[in-house]
Amino acid sequence: MQYFSTNHQSPKVDFKQATINGQAPDKGLYFPEQIPVLPKEIIENITSYSNEEIAFQVIKPYVGDAIPEVDLKRIVNETINFDIPLVKVTDAIYSLELYHGPTLAFKDIGARFMSRCLGYFVKNLSKKVTVLVATSGDTGGAVANGFYDVDGVDVVILYPSGKVSSVQEKQLTTLGKNIHALEVAGTFDDCQQMVKEVFTDEALNEKLFLTSANSINVARWLPQQFYYFFAYKQWAPKNNPPVIAVPSGNFGNICAGILAHVSGLPVKHFIAACNANNIVPNFMQTEKYEPKKAVATISNAMDVGNPSNFIRILEIFQHQFVNLKKVLSSCSISDQETKDTLQKVYQTERYLLDPHGAVGYLALQRYLQNNPVEKGIVLETAHPVKFYDVVEPVIGEVVPIPESVQQQLLLEKKSTKIAAEVDLLKGFLLSL
């Protein structure tokens, strides 16, 4: 499999080089030259396959010969060695719980897969690799956990000061060793812009071996297809494919879902559920893509004013808006609506959502009201305890804290505070 840049000004590369590079030299994102179609036999008999077999069959065409099959199977098995259950909430709405991994968030899948792929690729390199990543919340913890103590890899994580939850902050600032957290006085978009500028600095890249662990990296983005297939495996009415609502910030997750659909996964419709950062909902109404400065919300991992991965969604549909609209719709949910939904679902169904899941739930509920014969799945992307400071006042109860988080909350935060200036980031990278 070869990958081209969405800006079409860089050479094509294989999976290994795309993973190591992170972003293409022309600032575009890598995209597969072909979208493979899964054999119908797997889809039609999906319940007879193990999750490990499904995931391997999904990812193998994208990896090609870059990793031997025996090693790829090991990487896949280590990536998905926790539960991903589909839980019934109402007769029409099911929740795909993606928070049973080590950092209680959906990004564990991508981060674990990428860390193992990159670890495999760099083991014979003489130069140390620096993984540089900006996070609006859960990416930081997942990447920190996935790469912790990996030989030959330093990890530098930028996060916006005061704009991630206390649990998220502890998960990305308490590990130490090869994990370095930079607390930036600014927004996630500031962090992301600093990272992008570093990757395009030719002089710096001659001195350092840099790569990214954001969802712009193909090894982070592509394995997110796995759990869409796992959801369908657990989906009872196979003759009536689900509508899937995805809480969306940087749009890597929903892009992976759409990619899975194009590869053969039965899905009726996708809903990109956004918070007040409504760039894509506006685009779906007007066909005008107008990035804005990110607005802070209680669903902070989705506080993105210029979603990097939306270009990949456009690429899937060859920039044909009429075809995109057949598959995708998008809406914006306010903080108050998020709180109201969280409270109502807990009171009536005794199911506890996190703020991001609540955004997705309301978006799905509204869609189903207009399409009453359909049923759907909301992606519950993080454990509610990660946002206990938002959730507890809404439900009037204490959210039980998993033991792993209890221990982490006691650890000392280790971060370096910097202004949102790219020269300061460059100086830090050169000092490692």
**Are 361 and 245 contacting, i.e. CB atoms less than 8 angstroms apart?**
yes
CA separation, residue 114 to residues 121, 190, 237, 323, 394 (Å): 10, 24, 33, 31, 36
DSSP 1: -
Encode 207-225: b = buried (16+ Cβ within 10 Å), e = exposed.
ebbbbbbbbbbbbbbbbbb
**Two tokens, residue 61:** 């065409």
**Two tokens, residue 207:** 């001195």
Q: What is the CA radius of gyration of the chain?
A: 20
3-state secondary structure 282-334: HHHHHCCCCCCCCCCCCCHHHCCCCCCCHHHHHHHCCCCHHHHHHHEEEEECC
Report how far residue 215's alpha carbon sits from residue 387's, in angstroms, rounded to the nearest whole number: 22
Query: β-strand 93-97 against 129-134: which pairing, if any?
Result: unpaired
Q: Starting from the edge strand earliest in sequence, which strands make up the sheet with 376-380, in order?
A: 86-88, 93-97, 376-380, 243-247, 269-274, 328-332
DSSP assignment string, 180-191 = EEEEEES-HHHH
- What are the strands, taking DSSP E only, across 89-152? 93-97, 129-134
Report how far residue 225's alpha carbon sits from residue 37's, in angstroms, rounded to the nearest whole number: 13
Question: 3-class DSSP state for residue 257?
Answer: helix
Q: Label residue 36 exposed, middle or buried (CB < 10 Å: 0-12, 13-18, 19+).
A: middle
In whole angstroms, what separates CA 297 from the centre of its chain? 18
**Are 115 and 150 contacting, i.e. CB atoms less than 8 angstroms apart?**
yes
Instruction: Please identify which of the residues 16, 60, 107, 123 carries the catalytic annotation.
Output: 107
Q: Phi first, then psi: what are they for 362, rounded to 5°?
A: -65, -40
> Residue 334's CB: how many other CB atoms inside 10 A?
14
Report how far residue 194's alpha carbon sits from residue 425's, in angstroms, rounded to the nearest whole number: 7
Active-site residue flag, 107: yes
**Catalytic (active-site) positions:** 107
